[in-house]
Chains A and B, each alone.
Chain A
Amino acid sequence: MSTATTTHDQEAFNLKEWIFTTDHKRIGVMYLIGSMAAFAVAGMMALMMRLEQANIGAQFIETGTDYNEWLYFHGAAMILAFLIPGLTGFAANYFLPLMIGAADVAFPRINAFSIWLFYFAIVLALLSVVVPDTPDIMWTGYPPYAVTTEGNTSFYVFTVHLLGFSSILGAVNFLVTVIYMRAPGMGWNQLNIFVWTTLAAFVLQLVFIPVLAAAVTLLLFDKYLGTHFFDPAAGGDVLLYQNLFWFYSHPAVYVIFLPAVGILFEIIATMAKNQIFNYKVCVYGGIGGVVAIGGEVWIHHLYVTGMPDWLRIGMMISTLLISVPVGLIVMSLWGTLWRAAISYNVAMMYSVAMLYLIMVGGLTGIPLAMTSLTVHLSETSFIHAHFHFIMGLFSTYAVFAAVYYWFPKMTGRMADNGWARISFWLNFIGINVTFWPLFIIGPQGMPRRYWNYEMFPQFEAYHEVATVGAFLTAAGVAIMIINWITSAISGPKAPANPWNSRSLEWTHAPNPPGPGNFPEAVTVADDWTPYDYNK
């Protein structure tokens, strides 16, 4: 084991080898780098927006369109180029084959093609910021605005196409990998929860992405080829686009949420040295339930669009019922802490923060599920804070926690130091300072997506506080990234299994794993599970 580590470690860095690699681990790292680049730029946009909003009136924008362009990039990049690739690209690529004891994914070359597409998309997305007419259509691209605007909608559409194609290839690849390449003896009920959640996310991607791709393609035709698919004057239907968009994009929330939950389970089970509470119910009832109901609730994004009243009520009920599978997942998370033996590292600190985020973010979703309350809460800063908690922050913390937790695996070194803790606290305090004011002023009428709020002067103090919070978070993130880089270069050497995990990637593979992952072929016993600490 140790020889494998040293030989791999001492290989000289070779850029060509990285670009043309078919190794799932290198591809995973490339996904992390690409998605963190998108995160950094999109995060800067968020800071600029918060600065603009800090006080009433224009602070440093020339027209509202400047602000709208940041809005577009922040949303589109965070979701499409950071969260989805960060979780289903980086985390799934690097850890899923290791967890199931596979030497690589089923189709390594297709995997390499996926990362190329992803990088093309990232480049295209970043280019859209510097072209004269940056898209200004939110990440949703609703017509008719997306068609009539001066902004360059095509950048948005092509970015979605590239990322969608990349995701579909990834989905087929990973589904086959999990079905076909599990270590001999590994049954379905012995899989890591992360494997299950990734599987669920890829099923959703495969089934629903084509619908989004079709919708944005028709949008492109409307704008550049003069068709009228969504033009009401000529027989189009403006609402249909929204239906199609959310038909994909609500499941997309689970594409992000589920792998994040999977990472949370891995870290909590390991750090609590406990088995997953009610594993089968969590997998089949919780994760399976989210996949089953996830496709039938999209109308809750259209509660105020004049859809038939009965449809809005029907989807209110199905949306509320999402709380049942999510509740089962939460029960398993909490249950895993029962009679545990918890030790704390930075990854576990992020995980505890995630327990808080899932609780606050999930519960604030309940009033939003209710049609009769959403008619007022819709498009206020309340909903803005809600989805930042449950989707944005929860899943971002999952990526950060994953990097800390598997840092020794990826680099052979430790990143768990004082700086990591300082950055965590700055970040965690920062997000609360940013979003709690927004939770408060939302129900009082503060609309989201506003750079100017001269009609609500009473909210200025809240916005000032929120802006301070955003900078605390940014400082935390900056320290964290510097810490990652310095630790990867010169951090202390990590022991083989620093957290005493029972999962295959820690017990059977060296740090970092070389080509082929496992020095010896892995087989697992009938009664083995990744969580059997108490044996």
Chain B
Amino acid sequence: MLKVRTLITGMLLCSTFAISTARAQYNRVPESYIDPSTFQIDEQKVLGVKVDKNLALIDESGQPFTLGEKLGKPLILVLSYYTCDGSCSVINADLRDRLEGVTDLKMGKDFEVLTISFDKQDNLEKLGVFKKHLEDTEKLGKGWSFATFKDSEQIKPFADRLGFNYFWSPTDRTFFHPGAFLFLSAEGRLIRVLYSQTVESKDVELAVFDAKQGKFRPNEIINFATSLCYSYNYKEGRYTYNIPLFVAVGSLTFGVTAFSGSVFVFRRRRKEREKKLET
């Protein structure tokens, strides 16, 4: 079991490298494995796609609900499967760990998390085991739900629409799929895709800010400012500093200082001259 887990984690890491600049690592993956681009979502194609709000799902207590009920605020969507004791729990556990580091946002209040299984075989029992295995999601606050599809026929079209490719490998007796966190806006549009194992808490937080689509409340002005300081780097798959902004703020400070400095110096000089004239 440990072996399978290591293998899958390794594969996930490979997918990471596939999208990162460290492409050299790719050579270590044996030929028989699959094309690493399977682990990628073609953002150019799917960013901005709107999910079906009426998608029927079943929650962990067996109650039916629609995807639309989870929207209205940013939603982090994770597609995985519950019998998976390898990468899926790694992906979900990674998200949990990242979310633990997100201090400026509160799960349930500022955003929701939803893990959905794309495995037709998954049922409530497997879900329960999986959730237990994952531990501690409730510690983060209410707002992380686990669900299965009500109608298994809808799984494939739903995943396809988001550019999420997955398939069953009989030899490995496992699903291959991207280790992706999908950030949806309040209206259910796909705003950002981040990959497990490659991102930090800051990236998750910034992706939630992105998913707010600029709709910050006045008391969130700091968050808005934070979101301006970074911009998403498609090449590296994470957020990087928006350097020109800092350069510009520096230049503006220079301008203001130059102005106030010259006024200050010459006021003082004039006073000195006036003093001299008096004496």
The answer to whether A and B touch directly, with their CB atoms under 8 angstroms apart, is yes
B235 & A247 in contact (Cβ 8 Å cutoff): no
B214 near A175 with CB under 8 A, answer no
Decide yes or no whether A358 CB sits under 8 A from chain B: no
| Mask of B214-237 contacts with A, CB within 8 angstroms, 1/0 | 111000000000000001111110
| B256 on interface, CB distance cutoff 8 Å | yes
Beyond A175-B259, A179-B267, A214-B247, is A207–B242 a contact (Cβ under 8 Å)? no
In the bound complex, residues from chain A placing their C-beta under 8 Å from that of B251 are 210-211, 213-214
Q: Which of A210, A218, A232 gathers the greatest number of chain B CB atoms within 10 Å? A: A210
Contact code string B259-274 (vs A, CB < 8 Å = 1, else 0): 1001100110110000
In whole angstroms, how far apart are the Cα atoms of A153 and B215 in the complex?
36
Judge whether B262 and A235 touch: CB under 8 Å.
Answer: no
**Chain B residues within an 8 Å CB radius of A211:** 248, 251-252, 255
Q: Does A379 contact B (CB under 8 A)?
A: no
Closest chain A residue to B235, Cβ basis: A234
Interface flags, B179-220, vs A, CB<8A=1, else 0:
000000000000000000000000000000000011110000
B34 touches A (CB below 8 Å): no
B61 CB–A CB distance under 8 Å: no
Question: Which residue of B234, B256, B263, B270 is within 8 Å of A175 (Cβ)?
Answer: B263
Within 8 A of B (CB), among A220-256: 229-230, 232-237, 240-241, 244, 247
Contact of A208 among B215, B242, B255, B269 (CB under 8 A): B255
Q: Does chain A have a CB within 8 A of B250?
A: yes
A contacts with B: majority SS: helix
A7-15, A305-313, A481-489 - interface stretch = A305-313
Q: How large is the interface on A (under 10, 10 to 19, 20 to 34, 35 or more residues)?
A: 20 to 34
Are B244's CB and A241's CB within 8 A?
A: yes
B contact residues, total (Cβ < 8 Å): 32
Distance of A241 Cα from B243 Cα, bound (Å) = 11
Closest to B239 in A: A235
* Cα distance, A206 to B243, chains bound together (Å): 23
Interface residues of A in 193-228 (CB under 8 A from B): 203, 206-211, 213-215, 218
- Other-chain contact of A168, B215, B245, B247, B258 (Cβ < 8 Å): B258
Which B residue's beta carbon lies closest to that of A241? B244
Q: Which residue of B lies closest to A212 (CB)?
A: B251
- Scan residues 266-310 of chain A and give those whose CB is less than 8 A from a CB of chain B: 307-310
Q: Which residue of B lies closest to A218 (CB)?
A: B244
A207 partner residues in chain B, CB cutoff 8 A: 252, 255-256, 259
From B241, which residue of chain A is reached at the shortest CB distance? A235
Is the CB–CB distance between A179 and B263 below 8 Å? yes
Q: For B233, what are the chain A residues with a Cβ–Cβ distance below 8 Å?
A: 234-235
Instruction: Tell me which of B248, B256, B258, B262 contacts A214 (CB under 8 A).
Output: B248
Cα-based distance from A240 to B242 in the complex (angstroms):
9
Neighbour of A237 across the interface among B242, B256, B266, CB < 8 A:
B242
Tell me whether A349 is interfacial, beta carbon within 8 Å: no
| Contact yes or no, A311 B214, CB < 8 A | yes
Contact, CB under 8 Å: B214 / A307: yes
A-B contacts, 25 listed (Cβ < 8 Å): A168-B258, A172-B258, A175-B259, A176-B262, A180-B266, A208-B252, A210-B252, A210-B258, A211-B248, A211-B252, A213-B251, A214-B244, A214-B248, A215-B244, A215-B248, A218-B247, A232-B231, A235-B236, A235-B239, A235-B242, A236-B231, A236-B242, A240-B245, A244-B248, A308-B213
* Residues in A lying within 8 Å of B, measured CB to CB: 168, 172, 175-176, 179-180, 203, 206-211, 213-215, 218, 229-230, 232-237, 240-241, 244, 247, 307-311
